[in-house]
Amino acid sequence: MTSAQRVIITAGASGIGLATVERFRAAGALVAICDVDEAKLAAAAIAHPGLVTSKVDVSKSDQVQSFIETVQARLGGVDVLVNNAGIAGEIGPIEDISDDGWTASFNVNIHGAFFMMRAVVPLMKAQRSGAIINISTGSTVTLPLNRSPYIASKWAIEGLTRAAARELGPHNIRVNAIRPGFVDSERMRGILGDIAQKRGVELGEVEAEVLQYISMRSKVQPQEIGDMAVFLASDKALHVTGQLMSVDGNIEWE
């Protein structure tokens, strides 16, 4: 049951995060989100009365711990964690990636997810139940060129997912990851827009090229990622753990 579940969603004020908020709330869950964008947090709070919102940089462990304490006080506990916060990272050949560009991807994409997990696991262990859902990427399969910081950090997320599933299974805590494909989102449009600009072509041309490698020839909607997260957090997935769930229309990349 997702009814009355207490759910945390990081980077929940826009894109996949906000779509996931909407899906969990539709299922009756109590939801708390964090984000670094104050304006988007304010807009989300107005659009979704009762939503707990906090400005948090998940790469800062002290901010994460304070946020979890706030959620504990407001919601009384945590049943579900959706680690959605992530950045696209610096794009370019390996020899051109800066120290800061490399570190930034890991600070948010893997350190942030770990800090959140570390903070909620004691609460889940105490109640002997919980579901953790990490948002990875289909790029760990397709391996697009010049994305080494992003891909490496997301491989780390998938490794953490599998390791945590094994470690936390005896405590009735399930851990899974979702691999979104070509999502119709602002962030994806930004990534493809940068590629289009560098090549001197229109965004639509780059999008069409990507869609050629997807069997269904269509983009994934953010709500579909939210639907998968709701499923993985529900009683319908009681024995689904340690899995990497693709939501991508079947990527044919070779």
- DSSP string for 112-139: IHHHHHHHHHHHHHHHT-EEEEEE--TH
Q: Which of 150, 154, 156, 195 does the annotation list as catalytic?
A: 150
**Annotation marks residue 213 as catalytic:** no
> Does residue 106 contact residue 157 with C-beta atoms inside 8 Å?
no
| Spatial CB neighbours of 215, under 8 Å, sequence gap ≥ 6 | 249, 250, 251, 252
CA pair distance 126, 131, nearest whole angstrom: 14
- DSSP string for 41-99: HHHHHHHSTT-EEEE--TT-HHHHHHHHHHHHHHHSS-SEEEE--------S-GGG--H
> Does residue 160 contact residue 110 with C-beta atoms inside 8 Å?
yes
- Report the sign of the C-alpha dihedral through residues 123, 129, 133, 134, in that order: positive
Q: Which residues are catalytic?
A: 150
